[in-house]
Amino acid sequence: MPLKQILKTLYAPYKAFKEIIENPKYVGPLLIMVLVVIANVAFVYVAASKTYMERSIPTGEKKDEWTENRTLWVSNGVISESSDCINGSYFGNRSIAFSVTDETQALAELDNIGPVNCSSQDEYTQLSFRAKWTSPETKQANMTIKLFSNPTSNYFSYNPTTDSLNLTQGVWNNLTVPLDTAAWTRSGPSSDWGNITGLKLELTWNSNSNITLLVDGLFFQGPFSSLFENAGSLYMINYALLGFMQFVVTWVLLSGLAYILTRAFGGKLVWKPLLVLVGFALITMFVQAIINAVAYASLSNIRYPFDLLVGVQGEGQAAADAINAQTWIVANVQRFMQIAVWIWTIALTALAVHLLAAISWFKCAAISAIAYFVAILAESFIIG
């Protein structure tokens, strides 16, 4: 029976392969293929359920779309798009520049966003953006951040002191402001944290100046949600297809290369028994996926904060170090399991070639190792 042969391949491969050679059938490898697909889906489900990422508006796919398009903004000065911007995976290639002549105040207003729900800890709890002014050289005397709740007569106002912000002229300043706290002033009872539709920045100097203000990377940061919650069934389907393709491509390439190399080394083979035995040898892929799933299941939830996801050089290092420490054991289990699977698969393929072609173990090991590593290299190019 195929299941019995599969189990015997794990603990008594020599006996199992001898039995399979007597009556080689494709049903065994096809069943292993199904098991590999199921195990891969199980691993991805566990890993995705354990991996939590901080949500943002705009989403990472849209990058920082609010600071890429000057037509979204209004100001008391000239609005333009600047190539002076932040480099990071969530950022585009522009910032928004506001140029004001002979004024004490620079205003930058973004309308028609959201609506963004900032009404609870389960929603968006922080506002972050990057600000830089190149002139004047003096520090502003005051900054006000307003969040509008449609209509614009309803808003929340936040006035941090410039000393608390520790802003520096001529460099990009990273500002992160907690939302729905006592530090915010409500304009009236109709202001609603659950319906934020616009934003306004007001920077004020003590005397009239020519002001140039740049803004980049404007995001509302929110709660953590799992990859599985975000991707759902589509995520599982994609990885089921990936597992299927990995098995089929590796199976065919490894069998074909082993056949060609064995003939080159002077051995004689019959194609079908070799293909069937190599299919049984790939039971190692099933074992690897199951062990990886169990290893991930032992972890507590892994949380990727926003400052790590945005990919700005020099930021998020503390979060990265914490994640590396949390996953160190699992990462090493996966690394050693990968090496074990390479050796195990090569050994089973060498056994298959030896039983079928009756050539020396040295030649069988060389054929198997070359065929396997070329096969997995080719598979990585084909599938990606």
Stated pTM of the model: 0.80
pLDDT tens, the chain, 384 aa long = 788 999 999 999 999 999 999 999 999 999 999 999 999 999 999 998 999 999 899 987 778 899 999 999 999 999 999 999 998 888 888 999 999 999 999 999 998 887 999 988 788 999 999 999 999 988 888 899 999 987 778 999 999 876 667 788 889 988 999 998 889 999 988 899 999 999 999 999 999 999 999 999 999 998 888 888 877 677 788 888 999 999 999 999 999 999 999 999 888 889 999 999 999 999 999 999 999 999 999 999 999 998 888 878 777 788 888 899 999 999 999 999 999 999 999 999 999 999 999 899 999 999 999 999 999 999 988 886
CATH number of 57-224: 2.60.120.260
* Bridging pattern class, strands 73-75 and 95-110: antiparallel
- Rounded CA separation 30/375 (Å): 19
Q: How far is CA 87 from CA 72, 93, 205, 221, in A?
A: 21, 8, 29, 19
Q: Dihedral angle at the C-alpha atoms of 114, 115, 119, 120, nearest 10 degrees? A: -50
* Bridging pattern class, strands 302-304 and 51-57: parallel
Domain positions in the chain are 2-53+227-383, 57-224
Q: Which amino acid is at 329?
A: I
Give the pair of three-digit tokens for residue 119: 């009404």
